[in-house]
Amino acid sequence: MYDCPHCSTKSIGTWRKVSATPFSPAICGNCGKASFVSGWSNFATVLAAEVFLWGSIVFAIFLGSFYGLLALPVGMAVISILLAQLFPLIPANDFVLETRRKIVRRTWGFAVLAALALLIYGLSTHSAG
Ligand SMILES: [Zn+2]
Same domain assignment for residues 79 and 50: yes
Task: Supply the range of the domain harboring residue 74.
Answer: 2-92
- Going from the Cα of 129 to the center of ligand 1, the distance in angstroms, rounded, reads 59
One-character DSSP codes across the chain: -EE-TTT--EEE-HHHHHT--SSSPEEPTTT--EEEE-HHHHHHHHHHHHHHHHHHHHHHHHHTSGGGGGHHHHHHHHHHHHHHHHS-EEE--HHHHHHHHHHHHHHHHHHHHHHHHHHHHHHHHHHH-
What does the pLDDT profile of the chain (129 residues) look like in tens digits? 999 999 999 999 998 898 888 878 899 999 999 999 887 888 888 888 899 999 999 999 999 998 889 989 999 889 888 888 888 888 988 777 787 788 788 888 888 989 999 898 888 887 655
Same domain assignment for residues 83 and 43: yes
- Going from the Cα of 91 to the center of ligand 1, the distance in angstroms, rounded, reads 9
Same domain assignment for residues 106 and 86: no
- Going from the Cα of 11 to the center of ligand 1, the distance in angstroms, rounded, reads 7
- Going from the Cα of 80 to the center of ligand 1, the distance in angstroms, rounded, reads 21
Same domain assignment for residues 51 and 28: yes
Domain count within the chain: 2
Same domain assignment for residues 28 and 84: yes
Same domain assignment for residues 70 and 10: yes
